Chain A
Amino acid sequence: MGVIHVEGVSKIYNPDKIPVTALQGVSLTIEAGEFTAIVGPSGSGKTTLLNVIGGLDRPTSGRVAVGGHEITGLSDNELIDFRKEHIGFVFQAYNLIPVLTARENVSFVMLLQNRPAAEREARTQELLAAVGLEDQIDKRPAELSGGQQQRVAVARALAPKPAFILADEPTANLDSHSASNLLDIMARLNEEEGVTFLFSTHDQRVIDRARRVITLVDGAIARDEYRS
């Protein structure tokens, strides 16, 4: 059993009014250490799948297990705590709290976990160095470029030592240079630290760097291929 286990998941929005089927019968397993892209046309269900895996959204039917824990039946607060401890999120944009510095943004999640200050400080330094931002530590998001903001977001996602990182189109708002820079960092974390990444993307250059590519069409898996 992998780190993520999705079994027969369907998601229908607005079941009462105009039903929209976002996912239908999706089953997949992600193993620890994967570097996997979810691709597909707009509206194919990529975001919905990531949200369901991350416990942000509940499937209409089917099961999701993370690290062997079934999360489908958890209460709202249990899900929040689960996300806090086990899952790292990177969203397309505006990930960071604007009034906090890079250092504070990274530290914030660990504060929510009630980690001691010394540990928070050390890990924040380490993570910001890992994403190449050791000299931007006290800048606020507005003072950072889009690419730098996404790197801070990656550092923040890593802070609680999650089982994996879910990234929904992390490069969509970046120029190609920043995008490849972010990808380099993600790939290095994956190779050197064994961090599991699951990300959605439209960008062919990003797709090319994934080692596994899952293609969604109309809410179902149309193709699932491994590359060497």
Chain B
Amino acid sequence: MLVQLAWRNIWRNRRRTLITTASILFAVLFATFMESLQKGAWNNTINNVVNFYVGYAQIHLEGYWDERSLDLAFSGEEVTNLARKAPGVQAVVPRLESYALASTGNNTLVATVIGIDPELEDGMTHLSGRLIAGKYLTPEDQTVLLAAGAAKQLELGVGDTLLLIGQGYHGVNAAGKYPITGIVEFATPELNKSMVCLPLVEAQWLYGADGLVTSLALQLPNQRAIQPALHYLDQQLPDETYEVMDWKAMMPDLLEAKALDSAGNIIVYCILYLIIGFGIFGTILMMIKEREYEFGVLIAIGMRRWRLAMVVWLEIIFLGLLGAMAGILCSTPLVYYFRVNPLRFSGDYASALEKFGFEPIFPTEFRLGIFLTQALVVLAITIVLGLFPFRKLKQLEPVAAMRS
């Protein structure tokens, strides 16, 4: 009966109930949308970098990741065989990575040159899927794939020839002329502006690093597989010789930026919660004020104050629940829509984003946890604010309340 009483009470002032639940609804809607968008953008960025380039984990010679020196290349055969036995590892993808000046005669840029095993690479990063022109590499080719951004800048297309000049293993000269067999589009702007891929054997020949690689990327089924594989390799590989790193260790900047961004959002959430908190509090004050006489009667006829406060508390919880549920109901399709049709920025803002290594696309993350957390936070706020009537009713004197 108390529950029923509370439920009926909230519909006494239908308009106020609707306004209050609507404000909670919008808070939940806004907060879930913002969080989904933000999480989605970061996942997208991390996905782009991790899944399409770095991989979940890599093995290098100790110190390579910091120095990025070709001189820290190593013969990967033995380590490859070992890594294949690590739990969860589906493939070990060899790479020889370095830099070179890419030139056409008129235009020059600094290219990231990466020697790949075309088949293994495709298995892990689906590189062939990024082709927008031409065809993919075979291991024996003496040709290159050029990133779309770089192709545009150098004004080159499929069939044109690219000149690479750089420094090879232990200072030898490295120079080569390669026909372009394909143009690939990378999501990460940085990669898209500089990437040149050629078959591993050809890269080893170019840099004078016969049989050597700079890194072995591990193909793993998912994030959760990282830990066991790394654990196994840490035990099996000699400590001082090799470094085994997961993507978090390789890209601390990315994680840091994500954390910083999340922290910034917390401030926005707090302000948002504060605003709706005040709104709800206003409703509570009005609810108590206009029903003082009735509360006086109820205490007079023998209702304990805490019991009465429970009814009012229930009313406020109902408001919070209604608002939170309506918020989830409205935000679900919205977030889903923007996951299927991501926001896409263009113009100045897009280029600013690209400078920071973001793809200017914002697919929202669609995860139940986000909706639930936001709804629960809002609900928690109402529940806590709803404790105020306990205090107020403790002081309410029926005689005074009924005189007014």
- Point out residues on A near B: beta carbons under 8 Å: 51, 54, 56-57, 77, 80-81, 83-85, 89, 91, 94-95, 97-100, 104, 107-109, 111-113, 156-157, 160
Taking a contact as CB atoms under 8 Å apart, the answer to whether A95 and B297 are in contact is: yes
Contacts A104-B1, A112-B303: A56 and B9 contacting too (C-beta < 8 A)?
no
Tell me which residues across on chain B come within 8 A of A98, comparing CB atoms. Answer: 12, 294
Contacts A98-B12, A99-B8, A100-B5: A51 and B304 contacting too (C-beta < 8 A)?
no
Contacts A57-B399, A99-B8: A83 and B1 contacting too (C-beta < 8 A)?
no
> Is B293 engaged at the interface, CB distance under 8 Å to the other chain?
yes
> Is B340 engaged at the interface, CB distance under 8 Å to the other chain?
no
Taking a contact as CB atoms under 8 Å apart, the answer to whether B12 and A80 are in contact is: no
* Interface 1/0 per residue, B70-91 and A, CB below 8 Å: 0000000000000000000000
Tell me which residues across on chain B come within 8 A of A160, comparing CB atoms. Answer: 302
Assembly CA distance A91 to B293 (angstroms): 11
- Point out residues on B near A: beta carbons under 8 Å: 1, 5, 8-9, 11-12, 293-294, 297-305, 307, 398-399, 402
Taking a contact as CB atoms under 8 Å apart, the answer to whether A91 and B402 are in contact is: yes
Contacts A98-B12, A99-B9: A80 and B399 contacting too (C-beta < 8 A)?
no
Contact of B5 among A89, A91, A97, A157 (CB under 8 A): A97
Taking a contact as CB atoms under 8 Å apart, the answer to whether B399 and A51 are in contact is: yes
Assembly CA distance A81 to B302 (angstroms): 6
Taking a contact as CB atoms under 8 Å apart, the answer to whether B12 and A83 are in contact is: no
Taking a contact as CB atoms under 8 Å apart, the answer to whether B303 and A56 are in contact is: no
Tell me which residues across on chain B come within 8 A of A104, comparing CB atoms. Answer: 1
Closest to A96 in B: B297
Nearest Cβ on chain B to A167's Cβ, whole angstroms: 13
Taking a contact as CB atoms under 8 Å apart, the answer to whether B301 and A89 are in contact is: yes
Taking a contact as CB atoms under 8 Å apart, the answer to whether A99 and B12 are in contact is: yes
29 interchain pairs (CB within 8 A)? A54-B300, A56-B300, A56-B398, A57-B399, A77-B304, A80-B299, A80-B302, A80-B303, A80-B304, A81-B304, A84-B301, A84-B303, A85-B302, A89-B300, A89-B301, A91-B300, A94-B294, A97-B298, A98-B12, A98-B294, A99-B5, A99-B8, A99-B11, A99-B12, A100-B5, A108-B1, A112-B301, A112-B303, A156-B301
Nearest Cβ on chain B to A219's Cβ, whole angstroms: 16
> B12, B307, B398: which has the most chain A beta carbons within 10 Å?
B398
CB-based closest 3 A-B pairs: A84-B302, A99-B8, A83-B302
Assembly CA distance A225 to B20 (angstroms): 57
Assembly CA distance A109 to B90 (angstroms): 72
Assembly CA distance A108 to B298 (angstroms): 10
Tell me which residues across on chain B come within 8 A of A56, comparing CB atoms. Answer: 300, 398-399
Assembly CA distance A51 to B299 (angstroms): 13
Taking a contact as CB atoms under 8 Å apart, the answer to whether B12 and A109 are in contact is: no
> B5, B300, B307: which has the most chain A beta carbons within 10 Å?
B300
Assembly CA distance A72 to B398 (angstroms): 17
Closest to B303 in A: A112
Assembly CA distance A160 to B304 (angstroms): 16
Excluding A83-B300, A157-B301, 16 further A-B contacts by CB distance (< 8 Å) are A57-B399, A80-B303, A83-B302, A84-B301, A84-B302, A85-B302, A89-B300, A89-B301, A94-B293, A97-B5, A97-B298, A98-B294, A99-B5, A99-B12, A100-B5, A160-B302
Closest to B10 in A: A99
Taking a contact as CB atoms under 8 Å apart, the answer to whether B297 and A112 are in contact is: no
Tell me which residues across on chain B come within 8 A of A57, comparing CB atoms. Answer: 399
Nearest Cβ on chain A to B402's Cβ, whole angstroms: 7
Closest to B299 in A: A80
Tell me which residues across on chain B come within 8 A of A94, comparing CB atoms. Answer: 293-294, 297
Tell me which residues across on chain B come within 8 A of A112, comparing CB atoms. Answer: 301-303, 307
Tell me which residues across on chain A come within 8 A of B300, comparing CB atoms. Answer: 54, 56, 83, 89, 91
Assembly CA distance A81 to B300 (angstroms): 10
Tell me which residues across on chain A come within 8 A of B294, comparing CB atoms. Answer: 94, 97-98
Assembly CA distance A89 to B303 (angstroms): 13
Assembly CA distance A51 to B307 (angstroms): 22
Contacts A57-B399, A94-B294, A97-B294: A109 and B302 contacting too (C-beta < 8 A)?
yes
Closest to A92 in B: B402
Assembly CA distance A109 to B99 (angstroms): 86
Assembly CA distance A81 to B12 (angstroms): 29
Tell me which residues across on chain A come within 8 A of B302, comparing CB atoms. Answer: 80-81, 83-85, 109, 112-113, 160
Tell me which residues across on chain B come within 8 A of A83, comparing CB atoms. Answer: 300-302
Assembly CA distance A104 to B398 (angstroms): 22
Nearest Cβ on chain A to B292's Cβ, whole angstroms: 11
Tell me which residues across on chain B come within 8 A of A111, comparing CB atoms. Answer: 1
Assembly CA distance A112 to B303 (angstroms): 7
Closest to A85 in B: B302
> B293, B300, B301, B304: which has the most chain A beta carbons within 10 Å?
B301
Assembly CA distance A157 to B302 (angstroms): 11
Assembly CA distance A105 to B116 (angstroms): 82
Tell me which residues across on chain B come within 8 A of A107, comparing CB atoms. Answer: 1
Assembly CA distance A85 to B303 (angstroms): 11
Assembly CA distance A83 to B299 (angstroms): 9
Tell me which residues across on chain B come within 8 A of A100, comparing CB atoms. Answer: 5, 8
Tell me which residues across on chain B come within 8 A of A84, comparing CB atoms. Answer: 301-303
Nearest Cβ on chain A to B260's Cβ, whole angstroms: 51
Nearest Cβ on chain A to B252's Cβ, whole angstroms: 60
Contacts A51-B399, A98-B12, A99-B9: A109 and B301 contacting too (C-beta < 8 A)?
yes
